[in-house]
Amino acid sequence: MTTRTKRATIYLEPELHKALRLRAIETSRSVSEIVNDAVREALKEDAEDLAAFEERIKEPSISYNEMIKRLKENGRL
């Protein structure tokens, strides 16, 4: 973990806190490290999703009914 960190208070369900503590012990890591990694991964996934939306923004949209019609025509429904 970096030396420049910010302190935050979060409230976890007791079962999640217990699972995090056990995971920390099993992996010789701190709960903070595990939480930081999980948040970092979630933000990374969000960024990837947003990038995918941006790439496809100019694609034409079709209605749900049109999609069902196409699937039936292609024998997928």
Query: Which residue in 28, 32, 25, 29 sits closest to 5, CA to CA?
Result: 32
Q: Where do the structural domains in the chain lie, given as residue ranges?
A: 14-73
* Mean per-residue pLDDT, 43-51: 94
Query: Which residue in 48, 18, 14 sits closest to 34, CA to CA?
Result: 18
At residue 29, φ and ψ (nearest 5 deg) are -125, 165
Band of pLDDT at residue 2, cut at 50, 70 and 90: low
What pLDDT sits at residue 75?
94
Residue 4 reports pLDDT greater than 90: no
* Mean per-residue pLDDT, 34-48: 96
Range scoring the smallest mean pLDDT among 1-10, 18-27, 57-66: 1-10
Instruction: Judge whether 32 and 1 are in contact, CB under 8 Å.
Output: yes
**What is the DSSP annotation of 10-64?**
----HHHHHHHHHHHHHHT--HHHHHHHHHHHHHHHHHHHHHHHHHTTTSPP--H
pLDDT tens digit sequence for 60-75: 899 999 999 999 999 9
